[in-house]
Structure 1
Amino acid sequence: MELREFAETVLLQPDLDLKISVGDGDWTDESPGVALRVPEPMRSASLQFALPRAAPAMPKFGGLHEPERRAIAHHIMANHELQALEAMAWTLLAFPDAPQEFRIGMADIMRDEQRHTRMHAERAAKLGVEFGSLPVNCYIWKKVQEFQSVLDYVAGLPLVFEGANLDHTLEFAQAFSDVGDERSAALMRVIHRDEIEHVRFGWAWMNRLAEENEQIWDVWMKHLHWPLRPLKAKGEQFQREARLAAGMSEEFVDQLENFRSEDE
């Protein structure tokens, strides 16, 4: 499938089933077209972005013994995955001159985002909440609108949002397991393994696109758009080995692990 067609379908077609299933077969990138910055993805009425603070907050771990609270958590995470998918489609359209290897690699990751959306939506429904029955936020999408280069993208989405998910996925896996929901815990561990590869992709491309002799930490910091910052790239329980497995250098992982708010 041609990447331009794939990205346009994900962004400009409102049907959820189509968004999270389109893209079978091999990729081609023969007609990347002109740069296009889509202001908002087309979505069905039930998945339109809500006003700030209208969407439910992520349930606290202490309340996850209730199936409905676990369902809400999966509903929120399904929207996170859908936003990531749409953000990657936006990037394909916004930066048609990006290296073809980068574009095809990101399209492969988008298939994971489609699968993750399905997994969370199906689990939420199993627990009693249909995807789209609750308001959804647009935080990830709004941050992507500020990206002005491919380096901005890899600094922000793979190395902040997906980087933090190296921690969050295992935190949720443990929380679900603690209340006896091993299906939800297993789902989070699957996504954790995928996130390692997604972070590896972002790390590799940051290194490839950086100027010669630039320190990667400095490159990363230069391409972060507030409020994205190192503290947003980690959770409560820092998964050092996962970051090393993603290819990050010991020095970079040390800086991230030891970063504190006063360093900003």
Structure 2
Amino acid sequence: MELRAFAEQVLLSNTLDEKLVRPNSPITDAAPGEPVRVETPQRPANLQFAPRRTAPAMPKGRAFDDTKKRAVAHHIMANHELQALEVMAMVLLAFPDAPAEFRTGLADVMFDEQRHTKLHANRAAELGISFGDLPMNSYIWTKATEYASVLEYIAGLPLVFEGANLDHTVEFEQYFLEHADTRGAAIMKAIHNDEIRHVEFGMHWLRKLKDPADSDFEAWQKALHWPIRPLHAKGDVFQRDARSAAGMPDEFIDQLRDWADS
């Protein structure tokens, strides 16, 4: 299957099933085509982005006493994973001249995002909330519409949103375990392990594409769009070992850990 066709399938399909179908033949990239940008991904009616401030807030901690609140958490995370998948498809269509190794590597990450979306959506349904029952925010997609280069994508999605998920996945794994929800905990653990590889992909391409005169951290900061900043790339339970496993140098990790907005 051509990589462009796969990206179009993810971004322009009107059913969730089509978006989440993994190609059954090897990916090729012989015809990347011309650059294309879309204002919003195609989605079925029940998965459309909702107006601002109408989507539910993420439950945490003691809220997980309520089974339905755990379902809400999975529903929100399924939408996060789906948005990430759609952003990656957008990047493939918007930057057809990106290095071939980057484009095929991004396709591999997309396969993980498809699986993550299914894991969260299926678990939400098991707990009583079908994917699409609740309003959905568009924050990840909205931020991605500002990316004007592959480097800006790398800085924003792999190194901020997925980077923060190195912490969030551990935090939520613990919430599920505290409420004897071993299935939810296992999903978070599996996604955590995948996120290490995704952040590693981001670090690899940050170094490949940045100005050699800049340090890794400087180049990353320069490529971020306000209000996204290093503060957003970490959670409450900072995972140093996971970042080391993802190829972040000690200096980068220290700067990120110690970053605080004035």
Q: TM exceeds 0.5?
A: yes
TM-score normalised per structure 1: 0.98
Taking structure 2 as the reference length, the TM-score comes to 0.99
Match of 1:186 in 2: 186
Between 61-70 and 151-160, report the one with greater CA deviation: 61-70
Q: Are 1:12 and 1:41, in contact at CA under 8 Å, matched by a contact in 2?
A: yes
Counterpart in the other structure of 1:197: 197
Shift of 1:24: 2.9
> Displacement, 1:21?
1.2
Matched, 1:70 2:73: no
RMSD: 0.7
SS at 1:199's partner residue? helix
The DSSP-based 3-state class of the residue aligned with 1:23 is coil
How far apart are the structure 2 equivalents of 1:27 and 1:98? 16
Aligned to 1:222: 222
User: Any residues of structure 2 matched to 1:205-244 within 5 Å, and which?
Assistant: 205-244=205-244
Give the structure 2 partner of residue 132 of structure 1: 132
1:252 is matched with which residue? 252
Task: Give 1:26 shift.
Answer: 1.5
Q: Give the match for residue 143 of structure 2.
A: 143
Task: Tell me what 1:43 maps to.
Answer: 43
Q: Which moved more, 1:195-204 or 1:206-215?
A: 206-215
* CA displacement, residues 85-133 of structure 1 (integer Å, 9 cap, x when unaligned): 0000000000000001000000000000000000000000000000011
Q: In 1, distance between residues paired with 2:126 and 2:169?
A: 20
Alpha-carbon shift at residue 25 of structure 1 (Å): 2.8
Task: Provide the residue aligned with 1:25 in structure 2.
Answer: 25
After TM superposition, give the deviation of residue 62 of structure 1 in Å. Answer: 1.2
* 3-state DSSP of counterpart to 2:65: coil
**1: CA distance, partners of 2:238 / 2:223:** 23
TM-fit CA distance, 1:60: 2.6
CA distance in 2, matches of 1:225, 1:19: 28
Identity %: 59
8 A Cα contact 1:23 1:111, kept in partner: no
- Asked whether the 8 Å contact 2:169–2:191 carries over to 1, the reply is yes
Once the 2 structures are TM-superposed, how far is the Cα of residue 232 of structure 1 from its aligned partner?
0.3
Structure 1 residue 23: deviation in Å?
2.2
Q: Structure 2: give runs of 5+ residues left out of the alignment.
A: none
State the match for 2:84 in structure 1.
84
Partner of residue 93, structure 1: 93
Counterpart CA distance in 1 for 2:261 and 2:196 is: 25
Bigger drift between 194-203 and 25-34 goes to: 25-34
In the alignment, the residues of structure 1 paired with residue 26 and residue 251 of structure 2 have an alpha-carbon distance, to the nearest angstrom, of: 37
Amino acid in structure 1 at the alignment position of 2:74: H
Assess if the C-alpha contact under 8 Å between 2:88 and 2:110 holds in 1: yes
1:121 is aligned to 121
Cα separation, 2, equivalents of 1:46 and 1:156: 27
Q: Provide the rounded CA distance (Å) in 1 between the counterparts of 2:79 and 2:180.
A: 24
Is this contact kept in 1: 2:60–2:175, CA < 8 A?
no
Taking the aligned partners of 1:74 and 1:24, their CA distance within structure 2 comes to 27
Please give the alpha-carbon distance, in whole angstroms, between the structure 1 residues aligned to 2:209 and 2:145.
20
1:160-175 paired onto structure 2 within 5 Å: 160-175=160-175
Distance apart, 1:213 and its partner CA? 3.0
- Which secondary structure state, in structure 1, belongs to the residue aligned with residue 52 of structure 2? coil
